[in-house]
Structure 1
């Protein structure tokens, strides 16, 4: 099964468990990029469409692209007035110089070639346009990693090392290397607060019928984050960076 097919299969559960969690990141990018009415904005890897909905609320001309048909369907339910298409970083299905801003949240790391992906983003940006990239920060800053690491250990696997884009300075470096002028970079706190054991398990395992051993591992690893009311609070961090193409400043 391809990655796109896998994401399509879990699109509905992903939207339920994680769609609103990235809202603090969306707000930061909206503000840093000064997105307002009539801004033309493309969300690459738009997922289930929550950022697109926020763009529409600001009156922006919103467009989104995702390789997973299931995610595209979810996005169209949430942001039906946006121009949402199936596609990927390899070839964004819009003409040159179509957008004032290209944004991507938790998606650039899935590009086959990061440099080529950023070149393609530049192609669809207007002169002076902005690119905004955000993704999970290094594991030590994310309490969610305690659960992911426990699952890996239980499966006999090693927790994969942080990729360059998750580390301090990683996003800034990749934008500068791609020829963008750095505008701003920083971190955003992201809280995940599943209401109970069921919500926790569904959010982590994204499976309607998880294996009992996986359930046990998740619940044990999440125990330090359990509240008295039976819910959970896990504090996490995203990194972001914004770059500008050459041309007149917006």
Structure 2
């Protein structure tokens, strides 16, 4: 379940080209409450030089562009970068890992990473790189899923894992209270804001539910697991489909200078 797991089993985080269009369709705008929270606490606005690291299919980059910011994005997957470029033709979107960003020092006023740093080989190295491309006095903002028991979709994760005979992945440090703040503090930054936002995912029917939950899985796995997903989602059924209430944590910190 590539949108929530700390280490996705459905696709290599550095090879998502095969699911880029599906991701954009099913999950691209999902984290908007977290976007808005980070944009607010970092003061992004007209003329702000901004970089979104791990930008995926570019929805947050497009949001920054609508705010009037000078927006850029980076993602390790060329397919995701292609979708992002088509979404925001005026933005500079480059292929690049969080630990090796293709920009010079102090290039941006605000640097963000949303549901991305948990995929880095070394999160401390990734934060150091985000800090490197941030101007002195600039801000770094990060956000990702909160702990599993705050997420309705955790029920689906558990059911899919059980059906596959796997253990449910334990929450990583970044999902726990204080985890993001500790990471930023360890990177030499002064935390200026942190919080929790509600993030809702909705599926209008069984087809979208199964495609979203099992995005990136092989067809035979989808066929074998679809009934499990639908049954696990039964408590979240509404008159209009399915509705899952989840939570993202966010934190923002200032670079010295």
Root-mean-square deviation (Å): 1.2
Q: Which residue of 1 aligns with 2:140?
A: 131
CA distance in 1, matches of 2:121, 2:223: 34
Large movers: runs of 4+ above 2 Å: 207-213
Report what 1:218 is aligned to.
Answer: 229
1:234 corresponds to 2:253? no
The unaligned stretches of length 5 or more in structure 2 are: 1-10
Matched, 1:12 2:21: yes
Maintained 8 Å contact 2:73/2:93: yes
**Distance across 2 between alignment mates of 1:98 and 1:70:** 25
Which residue of structure 1 lines up, in the alignment, with residue 59 of structure 2? 50
Contact 2:214 2:222 in 1 (8 A): no
Distance in 2, matches of 1:239 and 1:201, equals: 26
TM alignment of 1:98-117, pairs within 5 A: 98-117=107-126
Give the Å deviation of 1:213: 2.3
Q: Determine the structure 2 residue equivalent to 1:165.
A: 174
CA apart distance, 1:3: 3.3
- Which whole-Å deviations, capped at 9, do the CAs of 1:173-231 have from their partners, x for residues lacking one? 111111100000000100001111111111101158453221011000000001134x0
Matched, 1:203 2:224: no
Aligned residue for 2:121, secondary structure, equals coil
* Separation in 2, partners of 1:223, 1:2: 29
Distance 2:13 2:225 in 1: 22
**Residue 86 of structure 1 pairs with residue 95 of structure 2:** yes
* Structure 1: runs of 5 or more not aligned: none
State the partner residue of 2:159.
Answer: 150
SS of equivalent residue, structure 2 residue 142: strand
1:244 matched to 2:254? The reply is yes
Count of matched residue positions in the alignment of Structure 1 and Structure 2? 245
Within the alignment, does 1:183 sit opposite 2:188 as a pair? no
Q: In structure 2, do the counterparts of structure 1 residues 130 and 73 end up closer, same or farther at CA, with 3 Å as the change threshold? A: same
| Cα deviation code 1:80-134 (max 9, x no counterpart) | 1110000101210001110000000000111111111111111111010100000
Is 1:97 the equivalent of 2:141?
Answer: no
In 1, distance between residues paired with 2:142 and 2:29?
A: 18
Partner of 1:120: 129
Inter-partner Cα distance in structure 1 for 2:51 and 2:13: 22
TM-score when normalising by structure 1: 0.95
Distance, in Å, in 1 between the alignment partners of 2:223 and 2:235 is: 20
1:34 equivalent among 26, 43, 58: 43
